[in-house]
Amino acid sequence: MTPQLYLTTAQQEALLKSIEKLCSVFWGPSLEKCRELLSDDYLLPFGVLDGLQAYDPPDSLEKLIKTVTEYSDDVSLFDFLEESYVRLFVNAQNGITAPLYHSCYQDTGQPDSQSGLMGESAGFMRQFFKSKGLSLANSINEPPDHLSIELEYLYFLLQQGVIKQDNEAVDEAVSFAGTFMLPWVSLFRDRLLSRSTCPFYPFAAAILASDLHLVSLLNNKSPDSNS
C-alpha cells in the first residue's frame, strides 16, 4: 500500500520525540528518567499526535498518564518501574513476560522463549547499521535487535528524512517500521497486555505500536505536491 499520511512540521517533531521517549522507556527506568516522566511537558508530544493515533486499547494514552500521575515523586515512581521492568523483561520466577528482543518473536514458536536470541533479525540489524556506517557503542552489551536499539535506528532514519529532507531515508523508515518492527512489536504489546499486572509498560507498548503504524503510513511529499 502506498503511504497515505502527511504530517505537519509540528507533528513530525512530535513523532520523533515520541519515538525517542519510548526508546528511553524500554531501556529501563532511572531516577533521571522518572523526574522527566513527572514533568509537565513530558507527555506533550503524545498529545500532539493523539488525534492521528489508533491506539489498541483505545484509552492507552489516558491510562499511561493516569499511572504516572499516581506517583508524586521520582523515587516512588522509579521503585515501581524498576520492579516491573525486571519482572517483565529481565528475570522472573515463572519466566519473563515479554522478551525485548526481536529474534524471540520470529525465530521460535513461543514469544517468551530466550532460545531465539541472536536470530535472523539480529543479523539484519547488523547489516542495517553497517550500510549506514553506524556501530553500537561499546557500552551497549545487548544484541542488535533489542527493541530500543531498533528504535534508535528508526529514529536515525526519520531524523535524516525530516531534518535533511532525505526521501530515501523516509521510505526506508516506512518499510523498517511497518514491515520489520510492527509485526513483532504488536506481539510484544499483546503479550504485555494479556499477562502483565503492571499498567505502565503495556500501554507504552500500545503507544509504540501506534507510532510505528503512523510511520508506516508516512508520505514524504507535501500535500500540494503533484509528483
- For residue range 37-81, list pLDDT tens digits in order: 999 899 999 999 988 999 999 999 999 999 999 999 999 999 999
Is 145 part of a structural domain of the chain? yes
Is 3 part of a structural domain of the chain? no
Q: For the domain that residue 212 is a member of, what is the CATH number?
A: 1.10.3480.10
Is 186 part of a structural domain of the chain? yes
What pLDDT was estimated at residue 4?
64
Whether the Cβ atoms of residue 64 and residue 200 lie closer than 8 Å to each other: yes
Residue 188 and residue 130: Cα distance in Å, rounded? 27
Residue 133 CB coordination number (10 Å):
6
Is 4 part of a structural domain of the chain? no
Is 97 part of a structural domain of the chain? yes
Is 2 part of a structural domain of the chain? no
Is 226 part of a structural domain of the chain? no
Is 166 part of a structural domain of the chain? yes
Its domain, for residue 98, covers: 9-216
Per the structure, the count of domains in the chain is: 1
Nearest-10 Cα torsion for 155, 107, 118, 110: 90
C-alpha 36: how far from its chain's center? 17
Q: Is pLDDT at 114 greater than 70 in this prediction? A: no
